[in-house]
Structure 1
Amino acid sequence: MAKPNKKGPSRTVDIVCAQCKCKLYKYRKGGKGALVKCFKERISEDYTFAPGICPQCQQAFARPTLVRGVPAFKIIGTKALMK
């Protein structure tokens, strides 16, 4: 399978916690679909202290995984939102 584009899209979105609305990432997202996964190489700013854990409410919002051989975070349900 093809790997995701390294440079990635230029459009950035803010990813926030669904429970406490705390900022989690600034992410270069491609396409207009729902937020399912975040490739680590496309995260431009990371506001979390532990991977996949909200810094404010300590809720797990994502799991580290490999997607097409590239490290990524799979978002759990609707625990993280795009703005």
Structure 2
Amino acid sequence: MFHCHVCGSKQSTDHFVDEVFFIEGKPTLVEHIPAKVCTRCGEKTFSKETTEKIRQLVQNKVGPDREVQMDVFVYG
């Protein structure tokens, strides 16, 4: 049963999301991650199995599927 740890809502929808993780200070994009998304606040939650698969992907010695360039802005 879903329970949002941010707003307390018990309602979510299943979505595929993209998320940027910082691995050793380097931004790493993981695309198409299955997630529960809170219908009230939009917080994304990943299952234990999904989290483990993400860990394995980013630690894979084979390398990423592709690389992207991104713009960086500093607020303030």
Q: Please confirm whether the aligned pair reaches a TM-score higher than 0.5, indicating the same fold.
A: no
Q: Higher relative CO (CA 8 A, sep ≥ 6), structure 1 or 2?
A: 1
**Structure showing the higher strand proportion among its residues:** 1
Task: Specify the structure having the higher radius of gyration (Cα).
Answer: 2
**Structure showing the higher helix proportion among its residues:** 2
| TM-score (norm: length of structure 2) | 0.32
